[in-house]
Amino acid sequence: MANSEENELYMVKEAQSLRKTDPCAAMAWIITAKTMYPNSFNLQYEAYLLERDGKNYEEAAKCFSVIATNFPNQHTELWQEINALTNALRNENENTPEQEFYVKMYKHLTPEVQHNIFMHTINHSGDNLEQCVYIYILMFNKFPKSAITQAPRLLEMLAEGMKTDPDLYQRILVEEVLPMIQNKPPELSPNLACRLYTSSLEFYLRQIMDESDTADAWKNIFKVLMICGQMMGWEPFLPFSKNVNQNVYWEKLVDILSGSPAGSSQVLFYATTLFIYSLHGYIRNCKLRIEDAEVSHVLVEGFMEWSPEGDGSEVPSMEPPKFSLTTAISPELSKAFLHAAQCWQLLNTDQFQRDFSQLMLALPLAPWISRFLFDLAIYFGHRDEANKLMADMTTQSSLVQSLQILSLNLMQGSMTLQGFQCILKIISELPATQGQLLENMSLKGHRHMVFLPLTRSALVQYCVGAIISRLSRKVYEPNCPDRLLGDLLVLQQLNLLNDVLLTQQIFSLIKQRKSFNLRTLSTYIIAIDLIEELSHIWNTQLEDNFELTSSPISSGTPTAASGAVGSQNRRIGTRGADKGARDEFKAITRQQIARCNENVITLLANFISQEHLMLAQHIFGISQPVETIVIK
C-alpha cells in the first residue's frame, strides 16, 4: 500500500514539474498514472490543472466534471476552484482574463454538473450568509426552474440577514430576488411573507422620501404587495396607476373587507399600503412651488360667517367639517387627507390596531405620522389632543407653530391673548413669497377647514380674518367706539366684497353720529370704495353738525405713532364748513386715492404691528403690552 501511494505521488510530481515547460510530457505522465490509479484525486486534479493552464476549456470542463462528481466533499483544492468559478460567474461582465476562463469552462459543463456545483456551494457556505444568498441568485438566473423549490429557503435567509444588515438584504430582495420569482411566487408562511413585504415597503419608503419622482417606487410597492399576496393566496388587489382615483382603491378595499374574517392580514396590509399611499400624497402636495419658491400649506380652522339675526349657524354640528377650495391644490389635498383618514380609522379599530401599531413602528414614517395626526385632531375638533400632539412636533418652524396655535384658538370659538400674540409673531415673521389672496376663507352655516399657503398675502389675510371675526360682533353692541369702527374699516380693506353687511353696518353707525373720530384715515385707509363712501357721508351731511376727526395729512408711510389721537388731530365740521376745511378734506381724500395701488398686504401688516395695543384693547379690554403674554 505504501509503495502504491509513493508511486502515485512520484508520478504526480513528475507531471507537475513538466506542466509549465513540457505540457505534452506532463500529459503522458498523467495518462499513464490514471490507468494505474483511476480513483486518485491528486491525479484527476493535476489533469484538470494541466488543461486549465493550457486554456483548454472543453477538456478542462471534462476533468472538472469528474472531480466534482467523484470527490464533492473531500478536498480544499476543489472548493477553491469552485469559489473561483462562482465568483467569475457573479461578475460575468467585469472579468479578468483568469476569470474569463472559468466562465467559458462553465459553458462546457453539463447542466447536471452546473446545478450540482451551485448546490454543493450552498451546502458548504457555512456562516457566510451573503455568499450563500448570491449563489442562490446565481443558480436561479442559470436554472430558473430551481426557484420553484429553492426560493423559500433563500427568502428565509434574506429575512434572517435583514436582522443584521437591513439595507443590504432589503436591496437584494427587491432588486434581485423578487423580480426572479414574480411570475410564480412560492407559497410561504404568512409571518414570513408579511415580514418580506414590510421590509420591501421600508426600502421603497426610504426611496420615496429621498426622491422627487416617486411613481416608480409606488408601482414597485404595489407589485411587491401582489407578489406577497400570491404567496399567501390572497385575493389580488389593484395594480398601481397614478391616474386611478383613490376612491377606486378604497372601494376595492371595502369589497375585500366585507368577505374577510375579523383581523385579516390581507385587509391589514392592503389598508396599510393604501393609507401610506394617501398619506404620501397628502404630505407631498402640502408643498407647492409659488413664485419660484417651495411653499408649504398648513391645515387651519376656517372662519364662520356670523349673523346678528342668529340663524343657528353657531350651533355645533355633528357632521365633519368641509374643506374650502381656497387654492388650486385644495381639492387634491383634501381628497388625499380624507382617504388617509378613512384608512387610519379602519386600521385603528380593535381588530387591526395592535398589528397596525407594530407596522408603523417598523416603518420610517414618524415625521409624516406626527403631522397627519395633528391635522386629524384639528379636523375632528379635538383641541386637547391637538395641543398634546403639538408638543411632540419638534421639527416645525415658529411661524407654523404660531399659525397652528392661532387656529386652535379659533377652533374654540374665541381668540385668547395667546392667539393674539401668535398673530403678532406671524406678522413679524412673514416670508418673502407674496402669493395671492384666497377665496372662501369664510363660509356661512358650517365649520370648514382651509389649507393655508405660507405666503405673505395668505398669512396676513388669515390674521386679519381672525381679528375681524373677534371684533365684528361688537359693531352690533350699544355704544360701539369710534376707534373700533375705524380700525375695522382699515381691516375690511381685504374683505370688502366678502363681508358687505359688516361694512354697511359700520357706515350706518357713522351716519347716525354727530361726530366721528377716524384717526386712521390719512394713514391706513386707501381703498377707493371706502374713501368714496366717506366722501359721500361728508357731502350729504352738510346741513348737520357732523364733525370728522382725523390725523393731519401724512406722508403715506405709517409709523408707530401715526394713528395716535392727540392735540394734533384735526376736526373738520360740515355745518358752515369754510373753504379751508373743505379743501383739507379734499386734500386728504386725494392723497389716499393716490395711494390706492399701494400693497395692501404690507399696509395691513404694518397696521396690526403698530396698532396692536389698540387692537388688544378692542378685543380684550386691556391696555398692557401684549408682548408680556407668554405662550406656553
pLDDT tens, residue by residue, 208-264 = 988 766 888 999 999 999 999 999 999 999 999 888 888 999 999 999 999 999 989
220 contact partners, CB below 8 Å, separation of at least 6: 174, 204
Radius of gyration of the chain, Cα coordinates, nearest whole angstrom: 40
pTM of this structure: 0.83
What pLDDT was estimated at residue 318?
A: 64
User: Which helix (H) or strand (E) element contains residue 289?
Assistant: strand 287-290
**Which one has a higher pLDDT value, 632 or 521?**
521
- Assign 79 a pLDDT band (cuts: 50, 70, 90): confident
What pLDDT was estimated at residue 545?
A: 56
- Assign 625 a pLDDT band (cuts: 50, 70, 90): low
What pLDDT was estimated at residue 552?
A: 55
Q: What is the pLDDT of residues 292-329, one digit of tens each?
A: 888 999 999 998 877 776 554 555 566 788 898 888 88
What pLDDT was estimated at residue 563?
A: 41
432 contact partners, CB below 8 Å, separation of at least 6: 293, 456
What pLDDT was estimated at residue 562?
A: 42
Instruction: With CA atoms as reference, report the closest residue to 562 among 508, 525, 602, 509.
Output: 525
**Res 567 pLDDT > 70:** no
What pLDDT was estimated at residue 5?
A: 64
- Assign 495 a pLDDT band (cuts: 50, 70, 90): confident
Which has the minimum average pLDDT: 22-31, 55-64, 443-452, 552-561? 552-561
- Assign 628 a pLDDT band (cuts: 50, 70, 90): very low
- Assign 201 a pLDDT band (cuts: 50, 70, 90): very high
Show the cell assigned to 425. 409673531
Contact 108, 59 (CB under 8 A): no
What would the mean pLDDT of 21-35 be, rounded to a whole number?
A: 74
**Res 577 pLDDT > 70:** no
